[in-house]
Structure 1
Amino acid sequence: MEKLEINKAQIALRFAQAGQSYTQHAVVQQQIAQQLFQFIQQYLPEKKVNRAFEIGCGSGNLSHQLMERLSINTLILNDLYPEIQQHFLRHNNQSHQRFPDLQWLMGDVEQLEFPQSLDLIASSSALQWINDLEVVFEKALQRLNPQGYLCFSTFGQQNLQEIKALTGQGLDYLSIEDLQEKLLNNGFEILHISEQLESLNFTHPKQVLQHLKATGVTATASNFRWTKQTLADFYQNYQQFLTHDMSGETLYRLTYHPIYCIARRKP
């Protein structure tokens, strides 16, 4: 199958449109950010970080934990579109001395120069939008201090598998083995890597589509158009993913496949 070329402008537009609804509906992404932060706390021996860089900060699911629960002097936040800064007004309005100095680096990380002398590069639920992950890993290695950390979550090949099965639309996700190989080839040692399957359940397939739209995930469907017929077919075919709760209520499953990684630049 031909690899899907990811349209960054389309991604920025869809996530900007979902900006107000994302925080409310992106429950899985919030859980993933919390889990990733627990791994960061577990594997970073020194909780003091001079300079940190977050790729694809979005509404700040991970950022706020980094700011409030790690001792960071400077945190540089990246995303595709400047509207995300609205999610950080609370930080800007607080001059508490333990909060880091917040800086912004807007744009596509595949094209940008990374900040210098980093102790930590972090990213939650964003690297799946990268066309060439090795480019990002190479830049990360160049900009991290010796024994600096690259900590991220991304998604594996079973992510949103129901949508891909029914529409043919979706990203070409890397396997956990692919990620390991790319990290090792680019000079990282892997301290932790794991994967999980998480399911959300909905009472109707229409809610599945509403959830995806509210979280900006429809950015993959740049050439896909819903018609009355394709929508009816989608609802009908989603029956194959039916499940039932303890009370026997019919539910429609949507699968997420997070992968967590804590890597370190070799000395």
Structure 2
Amino acid sequence: MRSNTANPYLLDKHKTRQGFERAAETYDANALLQREIGARLLERLDLIKMQPETVLDLGCGTGMVSEHLLKRYKKARVIGVDLALNMVKKTRQRGGWFRKPQGVCADAASLPFQPQCADMLVSNLMLQWCNDLPTVFGEWVQVLKPNGLLMFATFGPDTLKELRASWGQVDGFTHTSRFPDMHDVGDALLQAGFRDPVMDMEMITLTYADVRGLLRELKGIGANNATSGRNHGLTGKARLQACLQAYEYFRQEDGLYPATYEVVYGHAWAPTLLPSKLPEKFIPIMRSTT
């Protein structure tokens, strides 16, 4: 039955965490797109002349970005943060025997760190799992030192438009997230107090021999349907088959099935003076003496 929530696209945090906990072992084998976008995001750091002491990788997943940051900033402490503990455990295994990322299991909207503890925040494809971007950015701006850098990638509204349209021919439930518009993301940054936001976007289309391949890949990275308006019962073979049939409309001349991703990149700077906000609990970040 349909959820009674006023916003059917509101994401269930427990469902989101559950999907990524289960996918920790299969994520790397299915995350081709996530690695590619992460690499493109990290290339943008070539234009930023910083030598940060502390970098937070927010939504670290299995730690691909954290490991790169360790190599790029050889004197920095790198801390991966993820909602799923199993993902954090994978991140802690990255790096060499002498230097690995730290890992913290935490909600991006309620970070357990002291104010102004980080020089740089990096986030690759995590923001689309957040319900309230102004609140999330408001938390992040507190964690950054004055003039600290935020750099991120997330998904925009046209992401998985083929899958969304195909399910729309089957029933009235929500089957994919509603991804934020690039301009709304920029507005949320300004609302939170970030300055000089720069946003841009690109479209990436992956193709599959069959639609089930796309569905398996999404499941393999933990990207399950966590919307409140989802069908809370079993989908059923008949409905799935109807979706696959509807997807035939998008089949290309070469016989392959496309999946579109609108990728939004952005960076912004923390203000020189931050609004006062003292969390009740935080994890002090101290340099290791070993």
Structure-2-length-normalised TM-score: 0.82
Q: Which residue of 1 aligns with 2:171?
A: none
- The AA in structure 2 aligned to 1:65 is H
Pairs aligned (count): 256
- Pairwise CA distance, 1:240: 1.1
1:184 is aligned to: 190
More helix by share: 1
1:228-252 Cα distance to aligned partner (Å, 9 max, x none): 21111011100111113xxxx3000
Task: Give the partner amino acid of 1:88.
Answer: R
Query: Deviations along 1:1-56, whole A, 9 cap, x unmatched?
Result: 835221122112111222222111111111110011011222x212x111111211
Matched, 1:86 2:86: no
Q: Is the 8 A contact 1:3 1:172 kept in 2?
A: no
Secondary structure of the residue that 2:26 maps to in structure 1?
helix
Distance 1:147 1:138, change over 3 A: same
Unpaired runs of 5+ in structure 1?
none
For 1:202, the equivalent position in structure 2 comes to 208
One-letter code of the match for 2:111? Answer: L
Higher strand residue share: 1
**For the Cα contact (< 8 Å) 2:92–2:102, is it kept in 1?**
no
AA paired with 1:218?
N
Q: 1:263 to 1:71 in 2, by over 3 A?
A: farther
Write out per-residue CA displacement over residues 51-97 of structure 1, whole angstroms, 9 at most, x where no aligned residue: 11121100112111111122342222211122121343242x511xx
Aligned counterpart, 2:248: 239
CA contact (8 A) 1:149 1:265 kept: yes
Residues of 2 paired with 1:11 and 1:185: CA distance? 26
Aligned ranges for residues 151-190 of structure 1 at < 5 Å? 151-167=151-167, 168-190=174-196
Deviations 1:195-254 (A, max 9, x none): 11111101111212111111211243674332121111011100111113xxxx300011
| Shift of residue 185, structure 1, vs aligned partner | 2.2
Separation in structure 1 between the aligned mates of residue 28 and residue 123 of structure 2, nearest angstrom:
17
Structure 2 portions without partners, runs of 5+ = 1-5, 168-173, 273-290
SS in 2 for 1:208: helix
Query: Which residue number corresponds to residue 226 of structure 1?
Result: 235
**Correspondence 1:68 to 2:71:** yes
CA distance in 2, matches of 1:258, 1:87: 24
Conserved 8 A contact 1:40-1:262: no
Question: Is the deviation greater in 115-124 or in 255-264?
Answer: 115-124
Secondary structure of 1:53's aligned partner: strand
How far residue 103 of structure 1 moved from its aligned partner, in angstroms, is: 2.8
Q: What RMSD, in angstroms, separates the aligned Cα atoms of the two structures?
A: 1.9
Structure 1 132/120 Cα, relative in aligned 2: closer, same or farther at 3 Å?
Answer: same
Aligned pair in 2 of structure 1 residues 45, 3: CA closer, same or farther (>3 Å)? Answer: farther
Contact preservation (8 Å) 1:39, 1:262: no
- The aligned residue for residue 20 of structure 2 is 15
2:41 to 19, 22, 36: 36
Residue 251 (structure 1) aligned with residue 256 (structure 2) = yes
Distance 1:201 1:190 in 2: 36
Query: Quick check: 2:158–2:260 contact (8 Å CA) kept in 1?
Result: yes
Give the secondary-structure state (helix, strand or coil) at the position aligned to 1:78.
strand
Counterpart CA distance in 1 for 2:152 and 2:82 is 15
Code of the residue aligned with 1:68 in structure 2: it is K
Alpha-carbon distance change, 115 to 56 in structure 1, aligned in 2, over 3 angstroms: farther
Counterpart CA distance in 2 for 1:219 and 1:12 is 11
Q: Which moved more, 1:25-34 or 1:3-12?
A: 3-12
Contact map agreement 2:125 2:153 (CA 8 A) in 1: yes
Cα shift at 1:266: 2.7
Alignment of 1:213 with 2:219, yes or no, is yes
Distance in 1 between residues matched to 2:235 and 2:178, nearest whole Å: 21
Question: Counterparts of 2:197 and 2:97 in 1: how far apart (Å)?
Answer: 35
Letter of the 2:69 counterpart = L
Distance in 2, matches of 1:63 and 1:87, equals 7
What amino acid is the match of 1:184? L
Q: Distance in 2 between matches of 1:69 and 1:176?
A: 28
